[in-house]
Amino acid sequence: MLIRRLPRPDRPRYARHLKRLSEEDRRRRFGRAGIEDGWIDAHVAGLSEDDLILAACRGDEVIAAAHLALDPTSFIAEVGLSVDEDQRAGGLGADLLRQAAVFARNRGAGQLMTLCLSDNRAMVALARRAGMAVAFHPGEAEARLELDPPDALTLGQEMSTGLFAVFEDWAGLIERYHGLIAAAAQGAAPPPGGAKG
């Protein structure tokens, strides 16, 4: 299944995916109990513009996702995974983790890490299969993977799966620029969003 970058305007689709998770799955994903729908909406709305959501979709529905956040000071990328319950046997979690590592490498991250509850055996096993070093602390597990610098192979992997965000962002900027030019030529108001990238 194709995994692609979810554009910012489509983040509500990511929120709908998270809200389909059971109470127990929400506890495992976010590390605490009592996660309500309103909290998920606020969480997704508050994500940084620089954060990345990688999504596997069935039609317009997100069925699995990786949230990747890169700390520009430490060059550590943190990833959180979620997969719809009925999609967990197909290896989507492993595919998402692999793609998240590629994206992080291509943006200069030196390490990929994830935190989960220590009783989240599925996530711990997935991290170990991905070659991550797992350390247990009271109540939680921390997994880390050292990342090599990007190379032609990782750039090609990202391009081949439609994740080359730099090109995608430039394409969006050029499209908005052409919209402004067309609107100015016709004497119309500029399209929403202006020329901001």
pLDDT of 157: 82
Sign of the alpha-carbon dihedral angle for 18, 21, 26, 29 = negative
More confident residue, 24 or 184: 24
Confidence of residue 196 (pLDDT cuts 50, 70, 90): very low
Both 27 and 90 in one domain: the answer is yes
What is the domain count for the chain? 2
pLDDT > 60? residue 69 = yes
Residues 121 and 176 in one domain: no
DSSP H helical segments within 69-148, as ranges?
92-106, 121-129
Q: Give me the CATH number covering residue 152.
A: 3.40.630.30
At residue 182, the pLDDT reads 73
Residue 91 sits in the same domain as residue 159: yes
Q: Which residues contact 117 (CB under 8 A, 6 or more apart)?
A: 27, 28, 31, 139, 140, 141
- 24 with 56, same domain? yes
* Claim to verify: residue 88 and residue 175 sit in the same structural domain: no
Residue 169 has pLDDT above 70, yes or no: no
Supply the range of the domain harboring residue 98. Answer: 3-163
Q: Are residues 84 and 35 in the same domain?
A: yes
Q: What is the pLDDT of residues 71-127, one digit of tens each?
A: 989 999 999 999 999 998 889 999 999 999 999 999 999 999 999 999 999 999 999
- At residue 52, φ and ψ (nearest 5 deg) are -120, 135
Same domain for 87 and 7 = yes
pLDDT score of 18 more than 90: yes
Query: How much is the pLDDT for 165?
Result: 47
pLDDT at 181: 73
pLDDT at 197: 40
Question: Do residue 114 and residue 94 come from a single domain?
Answer: yes
pLDDT computed for residue 180 by the predictor: 66
Q: What is the pLDDT of residue 195?
A: 45
- Same structural domain for residues 176 and 93? no
**Residue 4 and residue 65: Cα distance in Å, rounded?**
9
Provide the whole-model pTM: 0.79
Q: Is the pLDDT of residue 161 over 80?
A: no
How would you class 97 by CB atoms within 10 Å of its CB: exposed for 0-12, middle for 13-18, buried for 19 or more? buried
Judge whether 168 and 146 are in contact, CB under 8 Å.
no
Same domain? 144 vs 175: no
Average pLDDT over the chain, rounded to an integer: 87
Lowest mean pLDDT among 20-24, 63-67, 85-89: 85-89
Alpha helices in the chain, H assignment, sequence order: 11-19, 23-30, 37-45, 92-106, 121-129, 152-160, 165-186
In this structure, the answer to whether residues 142 and 117 fall within a common structural domain is: yes
Tokens at residue 4, please?
Answer: 């692609």
Edge-to-edge strands of the sheet including 3-5? 3-5, 52-58, 61-71, 76-83, 111-117, 140-146, 133-137
Residue 159 is encoded by which pair of tokens? 């391009």
| DSSP assignment of 92-109 | HHHHHHHHHHHHHHHTT-
* Whether residues 135 and 194 fall in one domain: no
